[in-house]
Amino acid sequence: MKKIAVFASGNGSNFQAIIDVVESGELKAEISLLVCDKPGAYAVDRANAAGIPSFVFQAKDYSSKEEYEQAIVTELKKYGVEFIVLAGYMRLLGPTLLSAYQGRIINIHPSLLPAFPGKDAIGQALDAKAKWSGVTIHYVDEGMDTGPIIIQERVKLEENETRDSLQKKIQQIEHKLYPEILQMLLTQGDVLNVTKARAN
């Protein structure tokens, strides 16, 4: 059973979805650590409630990105983490983390990348009066939501779509799709196998 770390900065709803499928046995993994850059984030409360250790930090307490990422890598190694799952983590990863876990970091983003990368993808889609948005799961590289795409699922925007209604639609997909793809990656370890399996 592979050991994973979840990185989150906020509410942690995707983190909770992963906790739930691990606890039910649907996802054969161990969540060994939560990494959070916001001490007051609700994701930390979720980790505490589930008995999952947390590494909580503030970037301003470190002299550089390299320094705090090295502190994160040290914690990941301490807990034997093999795979990193970003779930609403609002910081770009740097070379220190990327090199330590190359090809073993994935992220979920609430748009059909490359459309609407970065912050507030839901607001961006609404402002652009887009007809479609959705969910993208992708590998993480040094760019802003630019890594190789694993899978996407579309959501149609209605004429009267609101931020709240679109967010609910997207989260409904996220909470099902992320654990499902994570299970496939942890067992198969091949992005091509994953996308082919979903297409069939």
Q: State pLDDT tens for residues 77-123.
A: 999 999 999 999 999 999 999 999 998 999 999 999 999 999 999 99
Compute the distance between CA of residue 19 and CA of residue 8 in angstroms, rounded to an integer: 13
Position 190 scores a pLDDT of 55
pLDDT in tens, 137-167: 999 998 888 999 999 999 999 999 999 999 9
Longest dimension (CA), the chain: 50
Token pair for residue 184?
Answer: 């496939």
- Check 109, 138, 169, 175 and give the catalytic one: 109
Contacts of 109 (CB under 8 A, 6+ apart): 117, 121, 135, 136, 137, 138, 145
Asked if pLDDT for residue 196 goes beyond 80, the answer is no
Token pair for residue 86?
Answer: 């970003």
Is-catalytic flag, 175? no
Rounded mean pLDDT of the chain?
91
Amino acid sitting at position 111? S
Q: Mind giving me the DSSP string for 116-170?
A: S-SS-HHHHHHHTT-SEEEEEEEE--SSSS-SPEEEEEEEEPPTT--HHHHHHHH
Compute the distance between CA of residue 85 and CA of residue 107 in angstroms, rounded to an integer: 6
Q: How confident is the model at residue 3 (pLDDT cuts 50, 70, 90)?
A: very high
Contacts of 192 (CB under 8 A, 6+ apart): none
The domains located in the chain, with CATH, are 2-199 (3.40.50.170)
Asked if pLDDT for residue 46 goes beyond 50, the answer is yes
